């Protein structure tokens, strides 16, 4: 299964993704855009080719704020179950969280991505991370994917 975490910076993708990997253990692997140099989206074909079938849960943690990037994953991994998790959060909360991050991005970039966000239509899971604690979000996700 391929799991796409989608949401603006500061919405909780990495926090929840890392907690999910801890719960799933060796059967999961996460690729986080913050930890991959260069364009994460250009590297998706290689990531999928090298990792599909090696773990039960391949987690892609990036904003995926443009539909074309989600479509790329859907087209390349069409034989696998693909789960889209949309983490929604008010931009003001995301800006506040982003300021606390070591590798925070410019505040202006958070607003730009929030404005340009092409929200996924009918995501498999929708979580408002301003109202849902990360551990609870992981429980919701596990309830759907296991």
What are the two backbone dihedrals, phi and then psi, of residue 24, each rounded to the nearest 5 degrees? -85, -20
Burial annotation 12-41 (CB, 10 A radius, 16+ → b, else e): bbbbbbbbbbeebeeebebbbbeeeeeebb
User: What does pLDDT average to over the chain?
Assistant: 95
The residue among 4, 23, 2 whose CA lies nearest residue 134 is 23
Instruction: Give the pTM.
Output: 0.94
All structural domains of the chain: 2-145 (3.40.50.300)
Query: What is the C-alpha to C-alpha distance for residues 33 and 11, in angstroms, rounded to an integer?
Result: 14
Q: What is the pLDDT of residues 68-88, one digit of tens each?
A: 999 999 999 988 899 999 999
Q: What percent of the chain has pLDDT over 70?
A: 100
């Amino acid at each position: 299964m391929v799991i796409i975490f989608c949401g603006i910076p500061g919405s909780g993708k990495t926090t929840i993704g890392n907690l999910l990997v801890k719960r799933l253990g060796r059967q999961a692997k996460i690729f986080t855009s913050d930890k991959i140099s260069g364009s994460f989206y250009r590297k998706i074909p290689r990531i999928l080719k090298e990792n599909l079938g090696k773990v039960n849960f391949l987690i892609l943690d990036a904003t995926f704020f443009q539909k074309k990037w989600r479509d790329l994953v859907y087209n390349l991994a069409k034989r696998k179950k693909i789960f889209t998790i949309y983490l929604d959060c008010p931009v003001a909360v995301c800006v506040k969280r982003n300021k606390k991050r070591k590798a925070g991005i410019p505040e202006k970039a958070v607003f730009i991505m929030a404005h340009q966000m092409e929200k996924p239509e009918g995501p498999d899971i929708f979580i408002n991370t301003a109202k849902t604690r990360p551990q609870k979000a992981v429980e919701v996700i596990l309830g759907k994917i296991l």
